[in-house]
Chains A and B, each alone.
Chain A
Amino acid sequence: MNKSYAGNVTDHAYSEARPAQPKKMVNKSVPGKGKQLASQIIPPLVVLLLFVGGWEFIGRLIGIAPYLLPKPSDIFLAARDNIGNLMVSVGTTVMEAVIGFAVSVVLGISLAILLALSKMVERSVYPYAIILQTIPIVAIAPIIVIWFGAGLNAIVIISFLISFFPILSNTLIGLNSTEQNMKNLFYLYNATKFQTIMKLRIPAALPYIVAGLKISCSLSVVGAIVGEYIAGIGGGKGGLGYAITIAASRLQTPYLFACGLSAAILGVLFFLLVNQASKWLLSSWHESAMNHSN
């Protein structure tokens, strides 16, 4: 009886296992990948080329002064002529944004865990986090400059303030959305509060945390530039925000455009980097990271 039973189980398990997913998914994604990528990249690229070409063409046709509306070629030349300064500015802004983002990640996630550990603490602290979030940064920034002095510290703090809240709120929502069933399971197996947080609630919140990171990384770049705009030179060298204020005051419009474009590219690159990192983080279990390229 026992023997035939054991045989039965294995047979059954095998027949069920055969249509399991992973092989299929690998097969599908390998030949499809190049094509898919091309179909994703080519249409926006065409739009970009048409737009830049049209802009250049109309600019030349009408002959608008470059300080009012520079043509793409003006912007390119301005960037090339000032490439040294531009690179220094980009580097400075990158450093500030990365520090601001890193501080947001560490403080945002730790505070969310603290709040999630105690409903009491959450109820008493979280409303203030929301209120703080609604105060416009331009109102807070001058105070920060007064307290911490113009320069790197103030800029990093402003970048942090802008990018902090999405991480905090997303992580908190994630930590609070653990299924009741799963919590019961841990409770019934006598898990400590610490074990439940580390082995259940944090891993379960990962998709939410990652969504927060994606929002915050672009915001940290915006925050750094706003900070430079208000607090000036960071780390001894001016960042993009600083370069933009200078270029604007000198009517160097093509260079101003070059700085703005660099900031945009920076934000996008930072986002792509974080996006890639989150895919890697989630790949072990979260399905949306595997199915959609979002």
Chain B
Amino acid sequence: MTLQSAQQLAAPYSSESKGLLVHLDHVDKIYPNGTVAVQNANLRAGEGEFLCFVGPSGCGKSTIFNMITGLTSHTAGELAVLGTTPREARKQNEIAFVFQEHTLLPWANLLENVTLPLKLRGVPQSVRKEEGERVLELVGLKEHMKVLPRQLSGGMKMRVSIARALISRPKLLLMDEPFGALDEITRQTLQDELLSIWQREKKMTVLFITHNVFEAVFLSTKVVVMTPRPGKIAQMIDIPVPFPRGEDFRTTPEFSDYVRAVSGALNH
């Protein structure tokens, strides 16, 4: 294994990671205080995949995301995003983020909020408005574009947050427990909406963190099961069920089987 990482170091971005949006190869993350947050993580996310990360609190899910976005750096192994370093990848404006909190600017209306990424890039006003209306339409909030975030419910705020992520037509969308704070009904509605947006975009790759096994199985093409202390990827479980997945998928025996498989992997 040491030999392999040495080879990887010699050729940092092998042709192998070219077609992949995210490629982790024997990645470790040890925080300065000694916490081993992630150990020996191997992961490949190709175009159009929907990966859900499940695992108990503290198993390193957010840490993996933070390494992919370049908020923190990995301490061993190889990590390529869009075929390059996280830092370079981010500059291509092909990556978008949704956090657990909606992170909307309270003083800016919905249109200004969703167009923030474009504004930071210096995109002209007319284009911003057009794109802003497009994504607000996608999440069903176009009529509310002049409204301030505090006038919205939690579910609507999360929709705005998703709209903001979609504005630059990202190739890679990272979502860290986006629906964690929502009630079950709103959560399911948003899951349906997210899936149909993802299907429309066709080529968009989504990485999605959740604590909820049902959510993971319902949404993903593949579930990444993680276990804590030290944070490890325990198992990958493919969910080869075709899309669109309607509400009825949640009640099929197939669905229960997958849920059982993921839960089993979690408890190992």
Q: How far is the CA of A287 from the CA of B151 in the complex (A)?
A: 11
Q: A9 CA to B155 CA in the complex, in Å?
A: 12
Q: Is A1 close to B, CB under 8 A?
A: yes
B156 interface residue per 8 A CB criterion: yes
Q: How far is A200 from B108 in the complex, measured between Cα atoms in Å? A: 11
| With contact pairs A195-B120, A203-B105, A285-B106 given, residues A16 and B156 touching in the complex (Cβ less than 8 Å) | yes
Binds B, one of A47-55, A119-127, A168-176, A184-192: A184-192
B209 contacts partner chain A, Cβ-Cβ < 8 Å:
no
A13, A17, A20, A285 pick with most chain B CB within 10 angstroms: A13
Question: Which B109-153 residues have a C-beta within 8 angstroms of A?
Answer: 116-117, 119-121, 139-141, 143-144, 147-148, 150-153
Q: Which of A5, A195, A206 contacts B192, CB < 8 Å?
A: A5
A2 at the interface (CB under 8 A from B): yes
Chain A residues 2 to 51 lying within 8 A of chain B, measured CB to CB, are: 2, 5-6, 8-10, 12-13, 16-17, 20-22
* Proximity bits, B150-181, A CB within 8 Å = 1, else 0: 11110110010000000000000000000000
* Residue B103 is within 8 A (CB to CB) of chain A in the complex: yes
Answer whether residue A134 sits at the interface, using C-beta atoms and an 8 A cutoff.
no
Q: Are B105 and A190 in contact (CB under 8 A)?
A: no
Query: Hey, which chain B residues are within 8 Å of A206, CB to CB?
Result: 107
In the assembled complex, A181 has its CB within 8 A of some CB on chain B: yes
Query: Bound state CA distance, A152 and B19, in angstroms?
Result: 73
Assuming the contacts A13-B141, A285-B148, A287-B150, asked whether A191 and B101 have C-beta atoms less than 8 A apart, the reply is: no
CB neighbours (8 Å) of A22 from chain B are 151
Inside 8 A of B91's CB, which chain A residues have their CB? 190
Residue interface bits B176-211, CB-to-A below 8 A is 1, else 0: 000000000000010011001000100000000000
User: Do A189 and B150 have beta carbons less than 8 Å apart?
Assistant: no
- Do A189 and B117 form a contact, CB below 8 Å, given A5-B192, A182-B103? yes
Known A-B contacts A13-B141, A188-B90, A189-B116; A1 and B99 likewise in contact (beta carbons under 8 Å)? no
Query: Are B103 and A2 in contact (CB-based, < 8 A)?
Result: no
Q: Would you call B140 and A190 a contact (CB within 8 A)?
A: no
Closest 10 CB pairs of A and B: A9-B140, A285-B107, A13-B140, A189-B117, A285-B106, A191-B120, A20-B151, A10-B140, A21-B151, A5-B196
Q: 29 A-B contacts, Cβ less than 8 Å apart?
A: A2-B200, A5-B192, A8-B192, A9-B140, A13-B139, A16-B153, A16-B155, A17-B143, A17-B156, A22-B151, A181-B101, A181-B103, A184-B71, A185-B97, A185-B99, A188-B69, A188-B90, A188-B95, A189-B120, A190-B120, A195-B120, A199-B105, A199-B119, A200-B105, A203-B105, A284-B148, A285-B106, A285-B107, A286-B107
Interface positions of B (Cβ within 8 A of A): 69, 71, 90-91, 93, 95, 97, 99, 101, 103, 105-107, 116-117, 119-121, 139-141, 143-144, 147-148, 150-153, 155-156, 159, 189, 192-193, 196, 200, 244
Residues of A in contact with B (beta carbons under 8 Å apart): 1-2, 5-6, 8-10, 12-13, 16-17, 20-22, 179, 181-182, 184-191, 195, 199-200, 203, 206, 284-287
